[in-house]
Copies of this chain bind each other. A is one copy, B any other.
């Protein structure tokens, strides 16, 4: 299982244009990243804000619904968030 995760992370890291990844726990704390700590904490914090707003938006429509993924693209950047059971994965 561990090698499978390592391989997946390697694939994310080596994908074209990807700066890095951050794995966050269920409360948004970075637990693994190839970015420096300050950058990992910053992206984790930014994504937490987006997750919080997304949850408000989603629950208004359907209280049983759950966020699984979001992708935010800007002129200069892109943030992808994939929600897992206990962790979440951020790619930037």
Contacts and interface: CB of A to CB of B under 8 A. Distances in A.
Interface string A66-88: 11111111111101000000000
Number of this chain's copies in the complex: 2
A60 B79 CA distance: 14
Contacts of A77: 58, 61-62, 65
Looking at chain A, what size class is its interface with the partner chain?
Answer: 20 to 34
A57 B72 contact: yes
B70 A65 contact: no
Interface string A44-71: 0011011011101110111011111111
A49 B69 CA distance: 17
Contacts of A57: 46-47, 49-50, 72, 79
